[in-house]
Amino acid sequence: MPVVGTAGHVDHGKSTLVLALTGRDPDRWDEEKERGLTIDLGFAWTDLGVGDEVAFVDVPGHERFIKNMLAGVGGVDVALFVVAADSGWMPQSEEHLAILDLLEIRHGAVALTRVDLVDADLRELAVLEVEERVAGTVLEGWPVVAVSGATGDGLEELRAALRQALVAAGPSPDRGRPRLWVDRVFGVTGVGAVVTGTLVGGSVGVDDVLELAPSGDRVRVRGLQRHERGIDTVAPGNRVAINVGGVDRERLGRGTLLVAPGSVVGSRRMLVSLRSVRGLDVPPGDRGAYHLHLGTGGFPVRLRVAGPWESGRAFGVVTSAGPLPVTMGDRFVLRETGRQAVVAGGRVLDPFAGRVDVAEARALASAVDGSPEERAAALLAVHGAMSTADLAAATGGGSVPGAVVADGMALAEPEAARVAASAAEQVAGHHEAYPLRPGMPKAELASRMGITQGLLEAIIALDDELVDEGSVVRSAGFAVRLSPEDEDRWRAARTVLAASPAVPRASSLDLPDELLHALVRTDRLVAIGDDQVFLPEHIEEITSRLSELPDPFSVAAFRDHFGLSRRHAVPLLEWLDAQGWTRRSGDVRTLRRRG
């Protein structure tokens, strides 16, 4: 089931309420118990009657510990928002509400606590105030339950409201791409480093290999615990403790992300959609310094807003000094360092942001909640070409119908068409410069295009203008054309060959190599061995007269019959063997077919 996170102003009874609901005190530190003030994240769990135990993440409500609060709510899908009836709405009530709204945590309940300290009229006024304050946010319509953690009044009603929210949120989806933002790290003697967090996106089992993002360091899952019980596998939507091996404890900490290898992108510059906190007089601008709160981490970043803020919304580019592990659609909260306040939130649209085109940004924003295939299509359309690894990591593994994919690269259809047109232009230019050659060498063309040979072959296969001829590429309508000078040379060589078929040495002809090769490719000459050429009609005559030889026959018999020297007869016989006319057996040959 989804994890429940608390939210609300300091001293409004969040921890007391979690203790009353679960029987477990979420405050872990002696200082917290002595001061009666939650400082860091606390954890508890209980059976609420929804088929499985439900975990709670209790967050601090004091403004000094807002970073810890943000680390706690980043992985929850259901919230328990707490307002004290005797104190009413307070500053951190507003800021915590803003955070839940920006993260779009759409399911939960509002607990109106300490109702044992107020009369019925004040209780009713407190309910009305809460409903007014949450209007227009994701909390609008949540049940407001009057409850007392001290007396137990209203606890059953609150449990029922939480059950309803948990069922509405539904189970955490298993996409086969586990992600766990670490919120706590500790060492156990004889065991090693243990991290805890809320698992989403996929299951994890003992002996699985995970990756620390974005460093890429690999770790092995040596052990798992859920609610203090050892297990072999854990599904998404659970609080889990993982004993990790293969990494120093010093490399782990809150804000570390454990993922399936290769499933996130390390981004230093990302395109984002932005939504400002309601009622903010001055929306976030380019000159401020910000912290981006993503998962359990808080990272210093810079913001450049693209275009004007309209109805509290805009697009922007977030840059960071180091790579941030993200995928398309990740939600974040933006806190301005100078104001010490949450000012906006948003979603990652493109981890590889270049120049900002508002129309492209809108297309990405429209696709961000779609399937992995829809996200991949939108992102590839913006970039034209991407590595398949980056595309899968950025979008959740989606493939793009119609894209050209080869050698680890993907090209959108328009980009593939552009590359094909450019390749066709290059090949046409090559034909113009070298009309006797069969086409442009494939390796040379791929190099000029800045793509791999495999990707070039995939593009050629989809293009009617180009023909793959093995090592070369030619235009579909290309045919070897002899210049007038080459025609004269060919006529002279043909005259020589026609008059002296028994002395078919290529070196004896006045033909440049390129012309000679062109004549062979166009079947005007037949090349045999290293230095022999025949006219096709001479070959036809030889094959038609093979039946005049005894069966079997020797090299000498063949030589004498056709008036050839042994130097010319042996290569010609080997060619006849290869063409299937004859078969060699020791020193003699037999005829396989007759002309």
Residues 88-147 pLDDT 10s: 998 889 999 999 999 999 999 999 999 999 999 999 999 999 999 999 999 999 999 999
303-317 per-position pLDDT tens digit = 999 888 999 999 999
Q: How far apart are CA 293 and CA 569, in angstroms?
A: 83
263-273 per-position pLDDT tens digit = 999 999 999 99
Pick the CATH number of 4-169 from 3.20.20.70, 3.30.960.10, 3.30.365.10, 3.40.50.300: 3.40.50.300
Residue type for 31, please? Answer: E
- pLDDT number for residue 477: 85
Share of the chain above pLDDT 70, in %: 95
3-49 per-position pLDDT tens digit = 999 999 877 878 889 999 998 876 665 565 555 556 678 899 999 98
Q: Is the CB of residue 460 less than 8 Å from the CB of residue 466?
A: yes
User: What SS3 class is residue 377?
Assistant: helix
Residue 511 — pLDDT band, cuts 50, 70, 90? confident
Helical H runs in 103-150? 120-134
Spatial CA neighbour of 129 closest among 103, 80, 90: 90
Residues 461, 462, 467: CA angle, nearest 5 degrees: 45
Q: Is the CB of residue 25 less than 8 Å from the CB of residue 19?
A: yes
Say which range, 215-219, 507-511, 566-570, has the weakest mean pLDDT. 507-511
The pTM score is 0.83
Count CB neighbours of 307 within 10 A. Answer: 11
User: What SS3 class is residue 127?
Assistant: helix
Burial degree of 328 (CB within 10 A; 0-12, 13-18, 19+): buried
- Residue 192, beta-bridge partner list: 188
345-370 per-position pLDDT tens digit = 999 999 999 888 999 999 999 999 99
Mean pLDDT of 199-204: 94
Which of the 8 DSSP states describes residue 249? G
Both structure tokens of 275: 């939504």
Q: Is the CB of residue 166 less than 8 Å from the CB of residue 54?
A: yes
Q: What is the mean pLDDT of the chain?
A: 89
Both structure tokens of 489: 């040379």
397-433 per-position pLDDT tens digit = 878 888 999 999 999 999 999 999 999 999 999 998 8
- pLDDT number for residue 502: 58
Pick the CATH number of 413-475 from 2.40.10, 3.30.1370, 1.10.10, 3.30.420: 1.10.10
CATH architecture of the domain 484-591 equals Orthogonal Bundle (1.10)
Which secondary structure element, helix H or strand E, spans residue 153, and what is its range?
none
265-401: CATH topology is: Elongation Factor Tu (Ef-tu); domain 3 (2.40.30)
Share of the chain above pLDDT 90, in %: 62
Is 387 a residue whose pLDDT tops 80?
Answer: yes
Residues 110, 112, 117: CA angle, nearest 5 degrees: 175
Burial degree of 293 (CB within 10 A; 0-12, 13-18, 19+): buried
- pLDDT number for residue 112: 96
- pLDDT number for residue 29: 58
Mean pLDDT of 162-188: 92
Spatial CA neighbour of 181 closest among 94, 70, 297: 297
User: What SS3 class is residue 172?
Assistant: coil
Torsional sign, CA 370, 375, 381, 382: positive
Both structure tokens of 151: 């007396």
Spatial CA neighbour of 74 closest among 100, 94, 56, 52: 100
Residue that is written with structure tokens 């942001």 in the block: 353
Residue that is written with structure tokens 């328990």 in the block: 80
Q: Is the CB of residue 553 less than 8 Å from the CB of residue 586?
A: no
Q: What does the CA dihedral 317, 65, 5, 26 come to, rounded to 10 degrees?
A: 150
Residue 476 — pLDDT band, cuts 50, 70, 90? very high
Spatial CA neighbour of 231 closest among 206, 210, 197: 206
Pick the CATH number of 179-259 from 3.40.50.300, 3.40.1010.10, 2.40.30.10, 3.20.80.10: 2.40.30.10
- pLDDT number for residue 38: 67
CA distances from 533 to 489, 521, 544, 582 (A): 15, 12, 18, 20
Domain ranges of the chain: 4-169, 179-259, 265-401, 413-475, 484-591
Report the 3 state secondary structure along 500-548. Answer: CCCCCEHHHCCCCHHHHHHHHHCCCCEEECCCEEECHHHHHHHHHCHHH
Domains 413-475 and 484-591 share a fold: yes
Residue that is written with structure tokens 């949540």 in the block: 142
Which of the 8 DSSP states describes residue 443? H
